[in-house]
Every structure is written in structure tokens, then in C-alpha cells.
Amino acid sequence: MLLRIENTPREYAWGSTTAIAELLGTRPSGAPEAELWLGDHPGSPARIVTDDPSTVSDLSALLRARGEKLPFLLKVLAAAEPLSLQAHPTIAQAREGFARENAACVALDASDRNYKDELHKPELIYALSDPFIALAGFRPLADSRAALVAVGEPALQPLIERLDDDAALPGVVRWLIERGEGVDAIVDALTAAARTLEGDPRDSESWATVRRLADHYPGDPGIALSMLMHTVVLRPGEALYLPTGNIHSYQRGLAVEVMAASDNVLRGGLTPKHVDVPELMRVLDARPMAEPRIAPVEIAPGVQRFTPDVVDFALTVVEAGAAIGGVTLDTGGPAIVLCLEGELLLQGTLVLARGQAAYADGPSLSVHGTGRAVVATGHHPAG
């Protein structure tokens, strides 16, 4: 089965008013267009493009009628403002939390509901804009200490003194998020220091993040938490892989995101939405790590695949011109294709132009043409 699909961008306050429209070659709505969902997730299922009004027009309904469900969701994400600090649970944590909230009769659409399903939500973000900026994972404590000490601000000493050992990190995170004693003064001092450092040789992407967050969320303890994290600057074609438990916040830019088909989010700040600190700390991987970049493997000339350590999804990128002579991708099952530029012919029958998308469910997918595309594939996790 090969179907053209489409959807309407979701309007979140942090979205860009132009980036998705410019990518797809469509007319901007005038509203902040934050995410375009391409999949069967019930939150915003893709529509099937058809001239026959008697056929099913909803990809989710079509797959459900066949007893099928996609294990992944492909999105286009356009952030003009920072998203919330968040982490996602493992499958075991999600199942336990989902059952617990069901037993407590917490409505699925309740504002304080943490678990909307029984799935984990690892995710991969592939940059389209230059740059795409993200907060992702905790950096080595020595790096955070050095950045804080360098400004010589006495008001930051209570935070500096707590960063003495990796084992202390979970406690520091909780103290910050819960606005423990002295945290508000630290946030104020960090904000003032970041303003002073702008243009100074000691300035850095981390201090730029503090300024950005202070502009959008003044006084939020997430400002202090950001100094313990990597500020990652991606260039087009670079990607991050964020496993379960990883704390992150997309800051600015346009990207393709592919993830397990879950809606489970535990927030830690930079948001007016519900923040459940005990539950966040239960799923959070509060350990220093390297920047969580993921490198692709070239599977054919001009064709690269990002394969994370989960079965739910992989992302294949067909660069412009790589399919002029035709390439066949081993999809192993369902796939979502988004044409980013130019024109492509799928399976010898369906033409995709810039901004158009398709659903395919064969074991392989033939691609011909001059265009550039991303292809999401994956399998349901066992157990």
C-alpha cells in the first residue's frame, strides 16, 4: 500500500510563524506553526489524500481497521522559543505509571496526568536550519563549575559548592526545580552575569542560553538547570539521539523529529504546564554524559541512515540527487516519507513534490528522482 498523506501544523505558542510553511512551500497561516505530525498518533493523525469521498481519510482509522499501529511518529518541528525542560520514561516506567494513574481515576486529558500511554518515548532530532539549538543531557560537573567560577560572582557560590561530585547531581537538580533555599537568588545572579558577559571573551553558548531563557521565562529555576546541561548547536544534517531519561529542551530552529509513538512527558521547568518533581526524578537519568550526538551510516552514495539503540524507529536521509538512478531502501515494513525539496517517484507510481508526504508498508521502497527526502521506519518493541 502506498498513500499520499498530509496534515495541518499544530499551533503551539513556541512555534515559528514561517519556518514550516517555507519548508513545505505552503502559505503561512499567520499563527505559530510548531509541529507537523506525520503518522497515525491519535493526537493528530495524518489525513489520506484521496479523490474518493467514500474511502477512509484518516491514516489512524485505516490502520486501526487493519489491526495495525505505527511504532513511530515523524514530525517537522519549528521552534521560535524554547520548549519545556522534559524527560521521558522507559517502557517499564510508563506501564507502571499508566496503570497507577488509571487506578487513581486520573482522566487521560487531565492537566496533571503524566502518563497518556504505556510506551517509552526516545527521540531523534535531525537539524534542517542553521543552527538548530538544543539543551540535551547533563555535562560534566567540572565544566559547569569552571563556567560558574569564571564569572567571580559570590551569589553563585552555593551552587558551585554543591557541584562537588557526580553523585550529588540528582540532589542538585531536585533542589533547583523545587526552588530550594537560595535558588531564586542564584537564578537572578546567573541572569545578571549572562547579561554582563554578552560580547565578553568568557561568553559561551551556555551563557547565551541563560539570556534566551531569561527573556522567555524570567526567574524560572530552569535557567540555573541549563548551566548544568549541554547547549548543543547543530548544523544542517547533524542529529541528536535522546534516549529515555535524558533531560532536554529544544531552544530554536527547524528540524525533523522521529520518536516512539508515545505522548508521555515529564516536565522540569520552562513551562506553565504541570511539573511533577517526584515523578520526573523517578525517570530522570541524572548523570553527566557527552553531547548525545548520533552519527549516520552511509548505506548507499548520498543515502544515510541514523539508527539509534531502539527498534521503534530509524531515520534515513536521501540527499538531493542521490536517487537520480534509483535507490531501493530496505524498510522492513511501514514507512513515512517526506520530500524536503525537488521531486521523487516512489515505487514507480507515486510522485512526491516538495512538502508532500507518503505512507508505504512494503518490505522495501524504491525511490527515483532529483529530490531530497527523509524516511522514517521502525518496528514495535517486544514485550
Collapsing DSSP states into helix, strand and coil, what is residue 145? helix
* Set 252, 267, 354, 372: catalytic member: 267
Q: Which amino acid appears at position 126 of this protein?
A: Y
Beta strands in 163-310 (DSSP E): 229-234, 239-242, 248-260, 266-269, 297-300, 303-306
Four-residue CA torsion sign, 223, 260, 363, 50: negative
**Helix, strand and coil percent figures for the chain, each rounded to 5:** 25, 30, 45
- CA angle 308-312-317, nearest 5°? 55
* Counts of helices then strands in the chain (DSSP H, E): 10, 22
327, 351 contact by CB (below 8 A): no
CA–CA separation, 133 and 143 (whole Å)? 19
Residues 6+ apart with CB under 8 A from 51: none
d(CA 264, CA 262): 6
Contact 226, 213 (CB under 8 A): yes
Reply yes or no on whether 47 is catalytic. no
Residue 317: HSE in the Cβ half-sphere, 13 Å Cα cutoff: 24
CA atoms within 13 A on the CB side of 309: 8
Task: Supply φ then ψ for residue 354, to 5 degrees.
Answer: -50, 130
Q: List the catalytic residues.
A: 267
